[in-house]
Amino acid sequence: MKTVIVIANPKPESFNHAIADSVIEGLKKANKEYEVWDLNKMNFNPVITKEEFQAFGYAQYDPNLEHFIDVLQNDCDQIVFVYPIIFFEMPAILKGFFDRVFIGTLIKDGDNPVDWKPSINIEKTFVIETSLGNMWDIITNQSKKQTDALTAQVLRRMGLYNPIIETYKSIGESTLEERQAFLKGLEIQFSRFDV
């Protein structure tokens, strides 16, 4: 089983890519198989079609997405999402990835249209988001906790379990040493997995 790393940043020299590289270095040390999905580099189309929207949740998807679905259902035991926060949200390309790919992993269960049974079962989910500033200073720490709790609940509904959500805040104010320490910590963390 492998780790899938999903990157949603169009700049190859970004801190997000450095984060992904650190995760990869850790996985290599753990002899863990991995696959990288750099959405911008792959020219992933985030726009959900009318046909996909009508089939939402019924495990029907664009055949061009078959590789993503196959890996998530059969070859993946942990997934890592890496992205910058843009206006308090994930980038549109990542939101479109969830819209388009995960409709193919959800199966309608019962008569209630919001009861979904995921056809994937990914044991560990990591969300590593970055922010130029400390956006949570604008609101409250409680809102951050509530947002993370809601995100975790949504991820579990899709079959992405045990989510760990980490936000690297204030990149613009952090020092090179602080960023390097964060990257080294990630490498160490991802080198210690036993799955």
Question: Is 90 exceeded by the pLDDT of residue 62?
Answer: no
**How far is residue 103 CA from its own chain's centroid?**
15
- Average pLDDT rounded to a whole number, residues 97-125: 82
Q: Model confidence at 137, in pLDDT bands (50, 70, 90)?
A: low
Cα 36 to Cα 4: distance, rounded to the nearest angstrom:
6
Cα 96 to Cα 76: distance, rounded to the nearest angstrom:
20
Question: Is 70 exceeded by the pLDDT of residue 36?
Answer: yes
Cα 60 to Cα 101: distance, rounded to the nearest angstrom:
10
What share of the chain has pLDDT > 70, as a percent? Answer: 88
Which of the pair, 4 or 85, is modelled with greater confidence?
4
Cα 69 to Cα 60: distance, rounded to the nearest angstrom:
10
Question: Is 60 exceeded by the pLDDT of residue 111?
Answer: yes
pTM above 0.85?
yes
Task: Name the pairing type of β-strands 106-108 and 116-118.
Answer: antiparallel
Question: Is 50 exceeded by the pLDDT of residue 7?
Answer: yes
Task: Name the pairing type of β-strands 2-7 and 106-108.
Answer: unpaired
In sequence order, what are the residues at sequence separation of 6 or more whose Cβ sits closer than 8 angstroms to the Cβ of residue 53? none
Q: What is the identity of the amino acid at 135?
A: M
